[in-house]
Amino acid sequence: MARASFFIAGTEIKPGTRQTVEMPVAKLYTHTPLHIPVEVVHGRREGPVLLVCAALHGDEINGVEIIRRVLRNASLRHLRGTLIAVPIVNVFGFIHRTRYLPDRRDLNRCFPGSETGTLGGRIAYLFRTQIMENVTHIIDLHTGAIHRFNLPQIRAELRNPETALIAEAFGAPIILNASLREGTLREYADSKGIPVITFEGGEALRFDDVVISSGVRGVNRVMRTLEMLPVKAGRSKPRKRSEVAASSSWVRADIDGIMRPIARLGQRVRKGQKLAVVADPFGETETAITTPFSGIVVGMNNLPLVNEGEAIYHIARFDELAEAEKVMDYFRSSIEPDTNGEAVMPVHPWDEQQK
């Protein structure tokens, strides 16, 4: 029996085909229509319906490039199930290079949305009803905020075994067993029993080839785990790629001043270790910023100008810190060009920045 066609935003995608759908979302002041671009690859055989989306925050652009490269994968000709790729969800923010919508709302706090609510609520409602309610799994791609760089990591609620499965399959070095925030895409999907993971990596408005390559390989690994893509013959099971963090916290500046970072992204740090030094412009007073607990640096503030109380280092705690350090070493050693031939940096850029 032939597989049924897939319908989205009033468009029919037949089995064994792929199509770009322009989903109407709103209009500019000029009456110019805006659309959310959606690429649908509808396989000939039954299988999961995976949503991969990016730029829910309009300035987080690494995910846009991840999706572009994923869609170049020649193996998609043999796709089992359906892939829905949405590289730009927040088209307003993307156009204006900002995280937020024109009314300053965060689209990732507007779910499940409302057909008659705020602009964010209406976009969230449209995205939920037209796309999310038709999928079985979700990968939501994000980066750090402006001037904050995140180590490639997965954030997920691991109580759902299927969520835990795809979180581990993605292969990011760190998995944060992160609580759900009200109004987020992840919280709504979880409430409906849809396995969902969030990939974080890099910084807003900046491409990072290591992060992008890690994201591309992660999405492809998830599709292979879900048996959407064929597994190459002779492929052996790789060593463990991820370590789950028990918790994480930001270390904040004690004073205002100019920060000189010492600890590197991905570095293991021990309780009491110096992370950075904050000084006044003349260097007459200096204060060392130390970590109150041991862990791995999974995020950091790249802007040297800091205010008292500002978050500067994100540290993840682990029950087996030595194992987490081994996973980081494995991640560093595994950096290589992705399967689509996109070159990545041969030396880890975060290490280069500290030389």
Neighbours of 163 (CB within 10 A): 23
Q: What pLDDT score was predicted for residue 28?
A: 86
In 171-208, which residue ranges form alpha helices assigned H by DSSP?
185-191
Q: What's the rounded Cα separation, in Å, for the pair 318 and 23?
A: 43
Q: Are 121 and 103 in contact (CB under 8 A)?
A: no
Q: What pLDDT score was predicted for residue 234?
A: 58
The verdict on 131 and 188 lying in the same domain is yes
The verdict on 126 and 272 lying in the same domain is no
The verdict on 216 and 258 lying in the same domain is no
Q: Domain range holding 279?
A: 250-317
The CATH number of residue 163's host domain is 3.40.630.10
Whether 140 is in a domain gets the answer yes
Whether 331 is in a domain gets the answer no
Q: What pLDDT score was predicted for residue 343?
A: 38
Q: What is the mean pLDDT of each run of 10 residues along the chain (355 residues)?
A: 88 96 91 95 97 98 98 96 98 96 96 96 97 97 96 96 97 95 98 98 96 96 97 63 92 95 95 96 90 96 96 95 89 64 41 43
Q: Domain count of the chain?
A: 2
Neighbours of 161 (CB within 10 A): 8
pTM of the model: 0.92
The verdict on 59 and 195 lying in the same domain is yes
The verdict on 172 and 293 lying in the same domain is no
Pairing between β-strand 257-261 and β-strand 305-306 as defined by DSSP bridges: antiparallel
The verdict on 221 and 270 lying in the same domain is no
Q: What pLDDT score was predicted for residue 2?
A: 78
The verdict on 182 and 278 lying in the same domain is no
Q: What's the rounded Cα separation, in Å, for the pair 188 and 127?
A: 12
Cα separations in angstroms, 69 against 16, 73, 212, 314: 20, 7, 9, 29
Q: Are 181 and 109 in contact (CB under 8 A)?
A: yes
Q: Are 317 and 248 in contact (CB under 8 A)?
A: yes
Q: What pLDDT score was predicted for residue 339?
A: 47
Q: What's the rounded Cα separation, in Å, for the pair 29 and 37?
A: 20
Q: Are 291 and 315 in contact (CB under 8 A)?
A: yes
Whether 67 is in a domain gets the answer yes
